[in-house]
Amino acid sequence: MRKGERKRQLLAQARALIAAEGFRAVTPQRLAEAAGVSTGRLARYFPDEAALVRAVLSDARAELCPAPDPALDPGGQLQALLDRHLAAAREPSESFRVVLRALVELTDADRRAELNAVLLECTEPLVRLLQAGQQTGVFRRVDAQVAAWEILQAVLGYALIGPRDVPPAEGEPAPPLDALLHGLLKTDV
């Protein structure tokens, strides 16, 4: 197996273990055993726990932070992003579950800083979208970075404590996101 393929395999196995059992359950020995490699081979790709956590969070970011659809206007783009985030919150993918576990389980200051860096990266497309909407008059003038962070926090909060068995009606965002969207738009949604 090529080096890049092996690293993807190890990341996929780590993501699956973390999503199912949490960060503390994923020791180098456990991950190496689950992936069918020696701990020495694992160490070639991830020399320590910090490198593994960084790689898993970075890998999860790609799925957690989808790019807006440029074919839609800013309001439509934001609605589509919120819909995708809510769908992911209702039926969390492995990557989404990894991030939710990270929010709850990673208490070490360095690991929290890495998680916060990933979450801040997730706000970048939202910031650009909000700024574009402000320039075209679709969104109110607010601090786009703060608004993007609040949107991401609302999505993650909904995933952590929102009702899973009572989905909103078709096409309706969850109440906290609906309130944020109404607050951003110059008109009702």
- Whether residue 187 is predicted with pLDDT greater than 70 in this model: the reply is no
For residue 55, being part of any structural domain is answered with: no
- Whether residue 172 is predicted with pLDDT greater than 70 in this model: the reply is no
Complete DSSP assignment for 91-120: S--HHHHHHHHHHHH--SHHHHHHHHHHHH
User: What integer pLDDT is reported at residue 189 of this predicted model?
Assistant: 44
For residue 23, being part of any structural domain is answered with: yes
Residue 104's domain comprises 60-184
Same domain, 30 and 86: no
- Whether residue 165 is predicted with pLDDT greater than 80 in this model: the reply is no
- Whether residue 15 is predicted with pLDDT greater than 90 in this model: the reply is yes
Helix boundaries (H) for 71-185 = 74-90, 94-105, 109-135, 144-161, 175-184
Helix-, strand-, coil-residue percentages of the chain, each rounded to 5: 70, 0, 30
State pTM to two decimals: 0.77
Overall number of domains in the chain: 2
Same domain, 35 and 100: no
115-162 pLDDT per residue, tens: 888 888 888 988 999 999 999 888 888 899 998 998 888 888 877 776
Q: What is the mean pLDDT of residues 57-80?
A: 84
Same domain, 86 and 43: no
- What integer best gives the mean pLDDT of the chain? 83
The CATH number assigned to the domain holding 25 equals 1.10.10.60
- Whether residue 88 is predicted with pLDDT greater than 90 in this model: the reply is no
Same domain, 39 and 67: no
